Structure formats: structure tokens, C-alpha cells
Amino acid sequence: MMGFIMRCWKKIKLWWLALIISTGALAAGEGIQIKSAELRLQDDVYYLQAQMMVIPNPTLEDALRKGVSLYFVTDFELKRPRWYWLNEDVAHYTRVSRLSYNALLRQYVVSGVNIHARSVDKLDEALLALGEVSAVPIVTRNELDTRETYQAKLTMRLDTTQLPKPLQINALASGKWDLEATPMLWTFKP
């Protein structure tokens, strides 16, 4: 009898271990990751090119399918470091994007103030379009000093203040609505 209990106990421990590992793997796959970002010079203007990978958790996907629009804020800052005072703000860019689902057409829509609206059939395609920043003019060559080294910072996050009020309370109470990229920092020399 004792041998039977020990075998069952080992199976239960293995089952719990597998559950914990699989839950951790799912949680690690969610969030926003900045894949690449750079400033490119073209016709005396520096343009921002970036690609971010957005992976929503099941709570966000479910809310999206039920008609809740999700707003994402992309922020870019370019600063000149100064040893004697605060860093100088050279350029700043903010983009607000909306991801929504049209149940009648069964399409995901990515739209915003600074981007062209796109309708796609699959969520993966919509997330790819949401994470793409291409050819955004940031600063002209004349505004930068070629002797200086600048600091660039790019980040993206889900704006929970744009959610309906009951969901805002839920977002504050639980961590299921937290979706934010680790800021990407790099130095830039014109």
C-alpha cells in the first residue's frame, strides 16, 4: 500500500512541475519586445525605423474579441547629455495606435493619428502592423551637432487610461493588463 501511495505522489509532483513550467513559459512569451530601432539619414532628415513584437496575454485577446479597443503608446526621445545641467531634449515623438476587432467583418483594425489604418484577417498580422514604425521624421541634420553624441530611447506600452472605466479598475487591481516594453536605449552620433 505504501508503494502505491509513493508512486501516486511522484506522479502528482511531476504533474505540478509540468504545470509550473508550462505556465512560466506562457508568461515569458507575453509582452512587448523591441526587436530593432535606428535613426536613418535621408535627404538631410533623420527618420526613425523600429520593429516591436507585441504578444498579448489571453485576457487582452479575450477583451479585444469582445469589442474592447486597445490603445498603445509608442514614445521616442532624443537627448543631448550635459555634465553641467540636465540633459537637453532634442526631439520627441509620440504615436498612439488603436487595435480593435470588427466582429461583423471578422477583421482586426490597426489605426491611429500618425499611421495609416490597416484591416487584416489575423491577429498576428495586426500585431505585426502595430509594432512597426517606419520612416517617421525625427530631426533634421542641421539641428544636430556632429561633435556631440546623443542618447536615444524608445518604448511602447498599453495605455490603460483609454480602457472603459470598469476595466480600468480591473487593470489597477490585477497585473493582467500590464503590457510594456523594456525601454531600448542607444547612443547616436550624427
Could you report the per-residue pLDDT of 135-189, keeping only the tens digit for each? 899 999 999 999 999 999 999 999 999 988 888 777 777 777 889 999 999 999 9
> What number is the average pLDDT over the span 127-140?
94
Does residue 114 carry a pLDDT above 80?
no
The domain locations on the chain are: 41-188
The C-alpha angle with vertex 112 and arms to 103 and 91, in degrees rounded to 5, equals 155
Q: Is the pTM here over 0.75, yes or no?
A: yes
Triad 29, 34, 37: Cα angle to 5°: 160
* 48-68 residue pLDDT tens: 999 999 999 999 999 999 999
Best CA proximity match to 54, nearest among 74, 68, 39: 74
Question: pLDDT at position 113, please?
Answer: 67
Which residues are registered as beta bridge partners of 151? 79, 187
Q: Confidence band (pLDDT; 50, 70, 90) for 93?
A: very high
Q: Write the CA distances from 183 to 17, 131, 148, integer angstroms.
A: 33, 14, 22
- What pLDDT does residue 18 have? 37
User: Within 13 Å of residue 82, how many CA atoms lie on the same side as its CB?
Assistant: 9
Statement: residue 29 has pLDDT above 90: no
Per-residue confidence (pLDDT) for residue 30, from 0 to 100 = 84
* Cα distance from N-terminal residue to C-terminal residue, the chain: 76
Average pLDDT, the chain: 85
